[in-house]
Amino acid sequence: YHLMDIETEYWSKEFKELENNSTDYIEIERWTSSEAFQVMSDFADLIPDYRLKSRLFYALSKKKPFAEFKFVIDHSGHYRQEWFKFRDKWQQEFVAELLEDLNASDE
């Protein structure tokens, strides 16, 4: 088996559901890299620990900001979990806004 075969097999039920009932679902676009960057920057802004905040902003200024941010946050103790909570909340709000906009345009 290749990884792609395993993934396709795993998701086959969901793919069939989407094919058979495509009008019951909407596709939600991924957030852009600039939106993802903004989320990381917003999180860094909230950090009370000045040293960590500085390291996060420095990471965001480097050539590969996403990888650099991840490295710093992965080695930041309890702030790593805070980052995941912050990011998850942001994603939920992002989807909620998209759904609100879709509902408003349907009316």
> What is the Cα–Cα distance from 70 to 59, expressed in whole angstroms?
9
At residue 95, does pLDDT exceed 60? yes
Q: Are 76 and 52 in contact (CB under 8 A)?
A: yes
Note the pLDDT of residue 13: 84
At residue 99, does pLDDT exceed 90? no
> Structure pTM?
0.76
Note the pLDDT of residue 26: 81
| Nearest residue to 79 (alpha-carbon basis) of 46, 39, 42 | 46
At residue 107, does pLDDT exceed 70? no
pLDDT in tens, 23-78: 888 888 888 999 999 999 999 999 999 999 999 999 999 999 999 999 999 999 99
> What is the Cα–Cα distance from 107 to 102, expressed in whole angstroms?
9
Note the pLDDT of residue 14: 82
| Nearest residue to 86 (alpha-carbon basis) of 43, 23, 46, 56 | 43
- Higher-confidence residue of 21 and 61: namely 61
- Higher-confidence residue of 20 and 43: namely 43
C-alpha distances in Å from residue 19, one per residue of 13, 15, 22, 25, 51: 10, 6, 5, 10, 51
Number of DSSP helices (H) and strands (E) in the chain, helices first:
5, 0
Note the pLDDT of residue 83: 98
